[in-house]
Amino acid sequence: MLMGEYKTNLKAVFPCESTEKHKLQYNTYLSKKSATGFELVGNITYLIPFDDSLTLNINMAKRGSIGGWVDNAHVYTTTKACSKMKELFENVWQLYVKGFHFSDMDCPIKPGVYVSSGIDLGQLTDTNFPKVFFYGEYKMVLTFPSSNNVEKLGCSVLVLDILRPWES
């Protein structure tokens, strides 16, 4: 397994399942902007505040050598979901907040419907994720469980390639 410095290529964004019963509804997707560029569009509906009382669970599955997903390749769980997302995504958080027209850059984010007409994915590169990572295709599932872990409050899936810096 090879690893090193990398760049990411976001290939898909979609809800884990129907968001109808979720209190944090992520109805986002990628839209082709140009021959080579995509943007993140859609809406986010928060029926409850997105704040530090929530937990964040990131579970990354890696595309297997014969196809299919190998679950739990990388798992990260933390409390204080809002602050941790802001810290992990750093400058991307600012673009995300502006793109979805949240009322405030800081936590908590108030309940409401937030709509993006398009966030340029070419700008979504400056994060606090590890600077060295294993190359390959990943399915990253971001889940926000309730504090007692009984209810799934929200969930979104990102499919991305982790590429060598010179690859396209």
Question: Tell me: the pLDDT tens digits for 138-147?
Answer: 999 999 998 7
Contact (CB, 8 A) for 93 and 134: no
Residue that wins the pLDDT comparison between 127 and 153 = 153
Pick the more confident residue, 159 or 4: 159
Name all domains of the chain by residue range, CATH numbers in brackets: 3-163 (2.70.220.10)
Residue 42: pLDDT band with limits 50, 70, 90: very high
pLDDT tens digits, one per residue of 72-81: 999 999 999 9
Q: Element (H or E) spanning 58, and its range?
A: strand 56-63
Which of 18, 22, 1, 14 has its CA nearest to residue 146?
Answer: 22
Residue 35 has pLDDT above 90, yes or no: no
pLDDT for position 141: 96
CB 44 within 8 A of CB 28: yes
pLDDT of residue 168: 76
Q: Would you state the pLDDT for residue 123?
A: 65
Check pLDDT > 70 for residue 124: no
pLDDT for position 48: 96
